[in-house]
């Protein structure tokens, strides 16, 4: 009798997909949110939400909200719920995730989640982790777990984190850079610095304001960074100069300036130096046996900020170790969490409640 009803349920689940057990892996990043299942990316868009100022209702999330950002009128408000990689605005984060999950899973009262795993920055405090857990608990999943992002990034880059061998991962995200040395499925040495992709963008805005009397928007600065940005002026095939469109501070009228990659490299120098110093400080406190492994294996570089042209070459020169640049730095953390979702028993040691 019991066996029959079990098969009946299985059969029903095949016919009616909304009855299937569901799970998801989440990388709630400072700039980008990625939601995956065990195998594929289901959502990858900017971490931003737009509200109607009057009613407080959600008008848009992700890409759609990002197009409104900096171009909104007074009745629309855009919010980036994360700052420095952790939840800064609980309600906005909760609503944004609710909309994302509904969009992806067509979540309704009879669908339920079996397992949710979310990344969390290693440096996040217990209070910040609790805020993330509370945001996730709205989905009433049977199991809800966290894992630290640098370990997820290492798995996402295909590294074997379980062996007794020192491995160094540097994740230059949007809000923070996390530097870790991993051995035996755990973090042995760690350093986090609040300098990452967003700092580079702000440096570019600052540079134009100070040196060109030009005020440029966030999106323009991002575009310049991606098109013509560089970590060093010494790069093999330099990108073409970019044209910055903004507002002349003195005249108060729209204006443009042309900028080369070496000028951007100059503007970003101080921030990149801060990342270099943090890597060196992490190596300095590394136990000798693990240091020997890192000398042998080099440093694994990931996160969107690592895509800045010449970053690998600059770090290689200043740190004098081999730098391995991830082939898909924007995906490493979500790929890692997704692989844990696929084989939770194998990776039990990295999962946190
Ligand atoms: N081609 C590129 N060149 C330079 N920077 C880039 C490029 N592509 C993306 N970025 C930068 O990568 C950053 C986002 O990276 P990522 O998605 O890893 O961050 P995040 O996970 O959202 O943030 P965090 O890890 O701090 O929570 C942004 O600052 C973005 O401008
Ligand atoms: Mg990240």
- The minimum-distance atom of ligand 1 relative to the CA of 226 is 3
Q: Whose Cα sits closest to atom 12 in ligand 1?
A: 304
Q: Whose Cα sits closest to atom 10 in ligand 1?
A: 304
Indicate whether 140 and 30 sit together in one domain.
Answer: yes
pLDDT for residue 326: 98
- The answer to whether the predicted template modeling score (pTM) of the entire model surpasses 0.85 is yes
User: Separation of 305 CA from ligand 2 center, angstroms?
Assistant: 10
The pLDDT-based confidence of 13 (bands split at 50, 70, 90) is: very low
Indicate whether 189 and 322 sit together in one domain.
Answer: yes
pLDDT for residue 94: 98
Indicate whether 140 and 46 sit together in one domain.
Answer: yes
- Dihedral sign (CA 69, 74, 75, 77): positive
User: Separation of 58 CA from ligand 2 center, angstroms?
Assistant: 25
Q: Is the pLDDT of residue 1 over 90?
A: no
pLDDT for residue 7: 41
Q: Are 118 and 146 in contact (CB under 8 A)?
A: yes
Cα distance from N-terminal residue to C-terminal residue, the chain: 36
174 Cβ contact partners less than 8 Å away, ≥ 6 residues apart: 29, 30, 31, 32, 85, 196, 197, 198, 304, 305
Of 304, 325, 337, which is best to mutate to test ligand 1, by the most ligand atoms within 8 angstroms of its C-beta?
Answer: 304
- The minimum-distance atom of ligand 1 relative to the CA of 225 is 4
Indicate whether 104 and 170 sit together in one domain.
Answer: no
Q: How far is CA 335 from CA 100, 120, 203, in A?
A: 18, 14, 30
How does pLDDT run across 172-183, given as a tens digit for each residue? 999 999 999 999
Q: Where residue 219 sits, what CATH number does that domain have?
A: 3.90.640.10
Rounded CA-CA distance 55/338 in Å is 37
- The minimum-distance atom of ligand 1 relative to the CA of 175 is 26
50 phi, psi to nearest 5 deg: -115, 135
Token duo for residue 277: 């110093």
Residue 124 within a domain: yes
- The minimum-distance atom of ligand 1 relative to the CA of 149 is 25
Indicate whether 178 and 303 sit together in one domain.
Answer: yes
Hey, is 71 helix, strand or coil?
coil
Indicate whether 41 and 136 sit together in one domain.
Answer: yes
305 phi, psi to nearest 5 deg: -65, -25
Q: Are 273 and 266 in contact (CB under 8 A)?
A: no
Ligand closest to CA 123: 1
User: Separation of 328 CA from ligand 1 center, angstroms?
Assistant: 11
Place of tokens 């857990």: 133
Indicate whether 40 and 50 sit together in one domain.
Answer: yes
Ligand closest to CA 32: 1
Residue of 106, 98, 86 whose CA lies nearest to 49: 98
How does pLDDT run across 27-66, given as a tens digit for each residue? 999 999 999 999 999 999 999 999 999 999 999 999 999 9
Of 174, 261, 301, 325, which is best to mutate to test ligand 1, by the most ligand atoms within 8 angstroms of its C-beta?
Answer: 174
The pLDDT-based confidence of 20 (bands split at 50, 70, 90) is: low
How does pLDDT run across 218-255, given as a tens digit for each residue? 999 999 999 999 999 999 899 999 999 999 999 999 99
Residue 157 within a domain: no
Structural domain total, the chain: 3
Indicate whether 82 and 24 sit together in one domain.
Answer: yes
Residues with CB under 6 A from ligand 1: 29-32, 85, 173-176, 196-198, 222, 225-226, 229, 303-305, 307-308, 330
Hey, is 302 helix, strand or coil?
strand
Q: Whose Cα sits closest to atom 20 in ligand 1?
A: 29
User: Separation of 333 CA from ligand 2 center, angstroms?
Assistant: 7
Q: Is the pLDDT of residue 4 over 50?
A: no
How does pLDDT run across 183-197, given as a tens digit for each residue? 999 999 999 999 999
Token duo for residue 54: 């009057």
How does pLDDT run across 67-99, given as a tens digit for each residue? 999 887 888 999 999 999 999 999 999 999 999
Within the chain, residue ranges assigned H as helices are 2-15, 62-68, 90-105, 126-136, 149-156, 197-212, 218-228, 261-284, 288-297, 311-319, 332-342
Average pLDDT over residues 199-222: 98
Angle (CA) 242 46 122, round 5°: 105
Query: Structural domain of residue 312, as residue ranges?
Result: 164-195+269-329
32 phi, psi to nearest 5 deg: -130, 140
User: Separation of 222 CA from ligand 1 center, angstroms?
Assistant: 10
The pLDDT-based confidence of 112 (bands split at 50, 70, 90) is: confident
User: Separation of 270 CA from ligand 2 center, angstroms?
Assistant: 22
Ligand closest to CA 30: 1
How does pLDDT run across 125-144, given as a tens digit for each residue? 999 999 999 999 999 999 99
Average pLDDT over residues 107-124: 85
Q: Are 150 and 58 in contact (CB under 8 A)?
A: no
Residue of 25, 29, 28 whose CA lies nearest to 304: 29
User: Separation of 63 CA from ligand 1 center, angstroms?
Assistant: 15
Rounded CA-CA distance 290/297 in Å is 10
Rounded CA-CA distance 57/50 in Å is 9
Average per-residue pLDDT for the chain: 93
Residue 159 within a domain: no
User: Separation of 225 CA from ligand 1 center, angstroms?
Assistant: 11
Sheet strands side by side (includes 76-79): 58-61, 49-52, 76-79
Indicate whether 92 and 214 sit together in one domain.
Answer: no
Ligand closest to CA 193: 1
137 Cβ contact partners less than 8 Å away, ≥ 6 residues apart: 144
Q: Are 51 and 77 in contact (CB under 8 A)?
A: yes
How does pLDDT run across 255-276, given as a tens digit for each residue? 999 999 999 999 999 999 999 9
Percent of the chain with pLDDT strictly greater than 70: 93
Indicate whether 63 and 89 sit together in one domain.
Answer: yes
The pLDDT-based confidence of 111 (bands split at 50, 70, 90) is: low
Rounded CA-CA distance 266/303 in Å is 22
Q: Where residue 80 sits, what CATH number does that domain have?
A: 3.30.420.40
User: Separation of 225 CA from ligand 2 center, angstroms?
Assistant: 18
Count of alpha carbons within 13 Å of 95, Cβ hemisphere only? 18
- Backbone dihedral region for residue 84 (phi beyond 0: left; psi -120 to 50: alpha; all else: beta): left
Q: Whose Cα sits closest to atom 21 in ligand 1?
A: 29
């Amino acid at each position: 009798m019991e066996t029959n009803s079990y098969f009946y349920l299985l059969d029903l689940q095949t016919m009616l997909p909304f009855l299937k057990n569901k799970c998801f892996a989440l990388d709630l990043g400072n700039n980008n949110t990625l939601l995956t299942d065990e195998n594929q990316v289901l959502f990858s868009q900017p971490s931003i939400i737009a509200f109607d100022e009057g009613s407080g209702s959600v008008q848009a999330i992700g890409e759609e909200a990002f197009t409104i950002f900096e171009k909104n009128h007074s009745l629309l408000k855009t919010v980036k719920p994360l700052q420095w990689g952790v939840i800064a605005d609980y309600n906005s984060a909760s609503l944004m995730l609710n909309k994302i999950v509904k969009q992806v899973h067509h979540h309704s009262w009879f669908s339920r989640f079996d397992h949710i795993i979310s990344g969390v920055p290693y440096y996040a405090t217990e209070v910040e982790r609790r805020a993330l857990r509370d945001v996730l608990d709205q989905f009433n999943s049977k199991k809800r777990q966290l894992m630290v992002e640098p370990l997820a990034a290492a798995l996402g880059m295909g590294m074997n984190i379980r062996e007794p061998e020192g491995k160094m991962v540097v994740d230059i995200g949007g809000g923070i850079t996390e530097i870790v040395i991993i051995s035996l499925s755990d973090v042995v040495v760690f350093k986090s610095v609040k300098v990452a992709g967003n700092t580079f963008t702000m440096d570019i805005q600052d540079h134009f304001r100070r040196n060109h009397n030009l005020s440029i928007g966030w999106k323009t600065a991002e575009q310049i960074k991606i098109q013509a940005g560089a970590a060093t002026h010494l790069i093999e095939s330099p990108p073409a100069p970019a044209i910055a469109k903004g507002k002349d501070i003195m005249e108060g009228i729209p204006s443009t300036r042309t900028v080369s990659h070496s000028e951007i490299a100059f503007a970003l120098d101080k921030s990149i130096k801060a990342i270099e110093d943090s890597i060196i400080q992490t190596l300095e406190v590394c136990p000798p046996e693990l240091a020997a492994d890192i000398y042998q294996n080099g440093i694994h570089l990931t996160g969107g900020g690592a895509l800045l042209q010449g970053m690998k070459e600059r770090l290689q020169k200043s740190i004098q170790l081999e730098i391995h640049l991830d082939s898909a730095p924007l995906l490493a953390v979500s790929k890692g969490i997704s692989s844990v979702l696929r084989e939770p028993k194998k990776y039990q040691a990295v999962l946190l409640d």
